[in-house]
Structure 1
Amino acid sequence: MTKSNAHIICGYCRRTFQRPKPTGRTPRYCSARCRSASYRDRTATPAEPRRYDDDVVRISRALLTKAQVLDHIARNRVQALPLEAVEQCVALQRDLGDVTAVIIRQALSYGAPWPQIANAMNSSASTLKGSYSAEKVDKILARRADRGPARLRRPAGLQNGKPASTVSRASCWLPGQPGYALSRALSHLGRAGGQPTVRDLAASTGVSTSYIYRIMSGERTPTWEVAAGFARACEADPDDLSFLWNTAHELPSDPPPGQTYPEAVHALQAALRGLRLAAACPEIPTLLRQAPAPLTAGAATALLSSQTPAAGFLRWPVVGALATALQGDPDAIRPLWERVDALAPTADDADRGRSWPAEAFG
């Protein structure tokens, strides 16, 4: 019986070929060489154990993290860091090359032949064998092991009640992470109009210009001394950064012994002003559009000022609404408010009610 002369795909090299004869069984391989190679692959014992699975997972996670950081950089550009996205792309390309090499060795360990891998890579088997040999891939993994994973180093010790070391990171803080608000506040201070240059900030804080860049991008969380010097150089109150700095280091904002009511109110207001810096200092009308009731313009202005506000403005619904409008975490602010509430002067409800301004009630 004569069969059609249609194209057939080789079961080994995946190339198309035509039937050599119009009769007989349909051949599975294009040549005796492919048939022999397929037999050797099916019967041979794997030359190396399947030891690349963990490496693929680890490098893939690093690649995903860098992609998330690049997405964050693209949506939150810092003009003072023009090469930030370029550097992140270089790191992405390096990890992509590493994971490609390891995945090729993983495919080999699972039985995929070089010709099929070459077809998937749009390359030749001989080129891939030279570029992704076991020795070269092992060197790639060894280099990554020497670099080590990027870890968040905890502060080593305390100095004047503040950790004296620096938190180092391989990438910038992302929204929702502890140091994000501090990095945004420092970035806003550093690039606000009329503020000192990066060199001036470096000279004022005693660190290098590259370190200032890393502080503003969130790659480094500075010591309290550097953060306070940064604020003073930008003509800002260092106390406004204290709450954000403690949050970045995951430290509780414990009140000092013997704290008075005015001091507690000042700490609460400073924390709210810090959140406003992290939000790039939005105007009061903008806050009112973002805030739930019962926040009013008078309440927002009083709480963000340096003067002690009236007691009516210090009710938790008002403070919590302002924290929400500033894109902060009300639960993190509440302990400061509870301290204010605990130290509030005692007075009967009637007298306290008569002292509240009308704006406190909307």
Structure 2
Amino acid sequence: MERDVGLMRDALVQQARAARTPTAQIAAALGVSTGTLARRFAPARLSRRLAAALHAATGPATDFGPTSASHSPSASATEEPGRLLAMALGELVYGTSFSGRAIARRAGVDPSYLSRMLSGERRPSWEKTERVTRACQGDVETIRALWEAAVRADSTRAAGGEARATLWGLLRGLHLSAGRPSPQVIERRSAGRVRGDDATALLRRELRPWPVVSAFVATLGGSPAEAMPLWSEAERQPAPERKEPSA
């Protein structure tokens, strides 16, 4: 709770600076002096706090098997690094005495692109990230760590999407090669290990627990060992939103 409040306070200070709120007003809202505000929310100090928050959010890499689904990283765990990077860059930019346009000019990036970097809409290359950091006289080493974590999180989300597509292709292929049995037939052939509604869900590309997927694959003549790594990676990521067909 205390950590979340601290991050919220950092974000509010960043937003206030982005809105060009006078320093005295920000300090008064926090109940501190302007000198204390400058020290506690200095760009380098904030970057270190964000780096610590990033470590707490992502934690050490752990290899969990399919039966440990409850320990899989959530969507917020893969989104947090990118959010923290954007916050850190924003604090660097708004913590200087220069305008955003001046920083963009010094860093050699388009002002609109810099704005998207700070909002988290764009994941900049390290070259551009470093130029912005140096233009603000920020801590390059800390920002580099945040940038690398954000890129790793992006790759994790992309891998999850590819795994889902491959898994659905495998399941549909097995279903087709087995003669397209109905969900009721699959339930009967699996001796009840795959219920009819679960079979229907899988054929509609809705993920189910590993024991169900394993039984589904085996019932249709496939290899659960082949499907397991695909399921494990797909299960780590949130399902994409399904678009309702237009009327």
The structure that is helix-richer by fraction is 2
For normalisation by structure 2, the TM-score amounts to: 0.41
Structure having the higher Rg: 1
